[in-house]
Amino acid sequence: MNVLDAFSLKGRVAIVTGGARGLGRQHALALAEAGADVAICDLLEAEGGQTRRELESLGVKALFGKVNVTAADEIDGFIRDVEANLGPVRILVNNAARPSEGCALADLDDRLWREILETNLASVFYVAKRAAARMAAAGAGGSIINIASINAHVISNIAPRYNAAYCAAKAAVENLSKSMAAQWAPRNIRVNTLAPGYIHTQQTAATAAIPEALKRNIENTPMKRYGRIDELKGAIVFLASDASSFMTGGTLVMDGGYTVW
């Protein structure tokens, strides 16, 4: 197969959680540009509808569902809708997450700890388990991409906006993904993680608004800049497509070098 053909997603159906805005919107656009029909889900209805229309303007089928990724019944209903309207799911990008706590451990409320772990870690299990069951039933295999972070590997030097709960969740996403990869390989379902470095979005806005913390993040990055919002698109298509057909249980780190030192 010609190498560029291996990146094609024509005829495949993808789900992107948290796809209404930010990096999730970029992941959805990337998959659509590579030919996939794309379903996004999010809590944000207006942004979700807007992104669905952008996807359709690329000439693919698209769907938006208002779904909380921590609610099992909403996930079940969404996957049923996707299958009924677009067809069997071949690609899942578990991208939805909430921002970090932004405070020291001593001030971290127990309830907020649970919310971050529930949204940023448990939802990855809830959605992937259900999507993998449908991929297995359809028998064509699939690719699951769980969005981790450089914070799966290192904690950031962003005092006073500490992020221990966020880091713990992202580290667990990478480890959980290895179990998924091992258990689902016999069904031809690959599971990999993408670990981005700092990119300006709503999630990173509070830290970027503190000049000292922003300066430290840039200085701690060998490339001396934040990533552009569209700089993960190639990685998403690579991981989703047959171009990465022998890769499972792995992590792609795209961080301008942040984790080299």
Ligand X SMILES: NC(=O)c1ccc[n+]([C@@H]2O[C@H](COP(=O)([O-])OP(=O)(O)OC[C@H]3O[C@@H](n4cnc5c(N)ncnc54)[C@H](O)[C@@H]3O)[C@@H](O)[C@H]2O)c1
Residue numbers at the binding site for ligand X (CB under 6 A): 18, 20-24, 42-44, 67-70, 95-98, 119, 147, 149, 196, 198-199, 201-204
From the candidates 166, 198, 226, 258, give the one annotated as an active-site residue: 166
Least Cβ distance, residue 1 to ligand X (angstroms): 31
Q: Which is nearer to ligand X, 142 or 256 (CB)?
A: 256
Least Cβ distance, residue 255 to ligand X (angstroms): 8
* Positive or negative torsion for Cα 90, 203, 45, 33: negative
Q: Which is nearer to ligand X, 4 or 46 (CB)?
A: 46
Task: Give CA–CA dist 139/166, Å, rounded.
Answer: 35
Q: φ, ψ for residue 193 (rounded to 5)?
A: -120, 150
Least Cβ distance, residue 5 to ligand X (angstroms): 29
Distance of CA 89 to the CA centre of its chain: 16
Our answer to whether residue 166 is catalytic in this structure is: yes
* 73 Cβ contact list (under 8 Å, min separation 6): none
Task: Give CA–CA dist 248/185, Å, rounded.
Answer: 8
Task: Give CA–CA dist 129/49, Å, rounded.
Answer: 26
Could you tell me which of 32, 179, 164, 182 has the C-alpha nearest to residue 109? Answer: 164
Q: Which is nearer to ligand X, 2 or 202 (CB)?
A: 202
Q: Which is nearer to ligand X, 199 or 240 (CB)?
A: 199
Least Cβ distance, residue 202 to ligand X (angstroms): 4
Contact predicate 243/1, CB 8 Å = no
Q: Which residues are catalytic?
A: 166
